[in-house]
Amino acid sequence: MESGDATKSIEAITLRSLAGMEVTLLNFGAAIQAIRVPTESGVVDAVLGYANLDDYLHDDFYMGATVGRFANRIGAARFSIDDNAFAVDPNETGNCLHGGRDGFHQRFWQMRSLENEAAVQCSYVSPDGESGFPGKLKVTVKYQIVSDYSLVIDYKATTDSDTVVNLANHAYFNLDKQQELIDSHDIQIEADQFTPVDGDKIPSGEIREVEATRFDLRRRTALRTTRSEDGQDRQYDHNFVLRNGDGMLHKVATLSSPQSGLSMHLHTTQVGLQLYTGDYLGDPFRPRAGLCLEAQGFPDAPNQPAFPSARLAPGDVYQQRTIYEFVPGKPYS
């Protein structure tokens, strides 16, 4: 269904926990519009979102959306499966970003409440050939609040033909919007390695150690745009190779605001984590007004034999889980 279809309208459902945390979800892009977390100093909306729902129809930033079929980039918007070559939508300097211009972020999903689970499930069927991707793909994304302050996201996909799949959520986090920019935040990522990229953000295929580089975020690190040890600003749009890439659920990152005292632990079963510091955000937002922590497979995996495979075959099931665990606390310095 095209995003401009006049027969469709954007709808919202809000989940609430007993502790008062609220998550507002949209049927357009299976997106997160808001995550409101009660703290000692008041309620903090931890993600960016448009106040007017219709603005999502013209969104250029993948705001809070489920991105796919392939999150992140596919170099030259081309890949092969066995002896079959496929050309997909080249929507960024000749590469395919987040599934193309009309990716999952620009689709109306079927959204329904799961009353017995206090959850919301979004479903979408992507036809064979959509944006150039092979195979009919059936996708579900389930959102559920557990343990008062944790949002669990479960992804599932099946196909009727060999294809590639990489799904992720593209929420922009800011744990203290009074500070306006994420420069005041601290971050920690459990990754000893990252995947270097060229000027178009396409991986070289190398897996490099973070030691003695600005990618060493293994200890709590301030995101202020001061120069780091190797003389570069702390601007990121890079994939980190997570330490425990075994398909089990692990805590892989922590984002925290010293001013609000609110922290978020990210847990995932995925092998990679894309950190994007929002440097290209524009009106009605500002650059670095929020950052993305996209738990996913590696970028350009269909063209990189050494990377974990993104291939999905008929009879197999793509499954992954990501959890945003919020921890209200006291401000610190």
**pLDDT digits over 74-91, tens only?**
999 999 999 999 999 999
**What is d(CA 294, CA 50) in angstroms, rounded to the nearest whole number?**
20
Question: Does the pLDDT value for residue 2 go beyond 50?
Answer: no
Average pLDDT over residues 206-211: 97
Check if 180 is active-site: no
pLDDT at position 99, please? 98
Average confidence score pLDDT of the chain: 94
**What is d(CA 110, CA 126) in angstroms, rounded to the nearest whole number?**
12
Question: Does the pLDDT value for residue 232 go beyond 90?
Answer: no
Average pLDDT over residues 244-262: 94
| Residue-by-residue DSSP string for 168-192 | EE-PPB-S-GGG-SGGG-EEEE-EE
> How deeply is 25 buried, as exposed, middle or buried, from its count of CB atoms within 10 A (0-12, 13-18, 19+)?
buried
pLDDT at position 258, please? 93
Catalytic-labelled residue, pool 170, 185, 238, 265: 170
Question: Does the pLDDT value for residue 197 go beyond 50?
Answer: yes
Question: Does the pLDDT value for residue 138 go beyond 70?
Answer: yes
Confidence of residue 51 (pLDDT cuts 50, 70, 90): very high
Question: Does the pLDDT value for residue 324 go beyond 70?
Answer: yes
Please report, rounded to a whole number, the percentage of residues in the chain having pLDDT higher than 90: 89
Domains defined along the chain, listed by start: 12-327 (2.70.98.10)
For 246, residues 6+ apart whose C-beta sits below 8 A from its C-beta are: none
Confidence of residue 308 (pLDDT cuts 50, 70, 90): very high
Tokens 């998550």 map to which residue?
A: 23
| Residue-by-residue DSSP string for 36-79 | EEEETTEEEE-B---SSGGGGGG-SS-TT-EE-SB-SEEGGGEE
How big is the CA angle at 72 (ends 225 and 189), to the nearest 5 degrees?
A: 45
pLDDT at position 332, please? 80
Average pLDDT over residues 261-271: 97
Question: Does the pLDDT value for residue 4 go beyond 70?
Answer: no
The residue that leads in pLDDT, 115 or 195, is 195
Question: Does the pLDDT value for residue 333 go beyond 80?
Answer: no
pLDDT at position 3, please? 43
**pLDDT digits over 152-183, tens only?**
999 999 999 999 999 999 999 999 988 889 99
Count CB atoms within 10 A of the CB of residue 184: 18
pLDDT at position 60, please? 95
**pLDDT digits over 268-286, tens only?**
999 999 999 999 999 999 9
Between 20-34, 171-185, 306-320, the lowest mean confidence (pLDDT) is in: 171-185
**What is d(CA 26, CA 13) in angstroms, rounded to the nearest whole number?**
7
Measured in residues, the chain has a length of: 333
Sheet holding 208-209, edge to edge: 208-209, 191-195, 237-242, 272-276, 292-296
Between 7-11, 17-21, 122-126, the lowest mean confidence (pLDDT) is in: 7-11
Average pLDDT over residues 219-242: 83
Catalytic-labelled residue, pool 98, 130, 238, 294: 294
Check if 294 is active-site: yes
Between 163-177, 194-208, 211-225, the lowest mean confidence (pLDDT) is in: 211-225
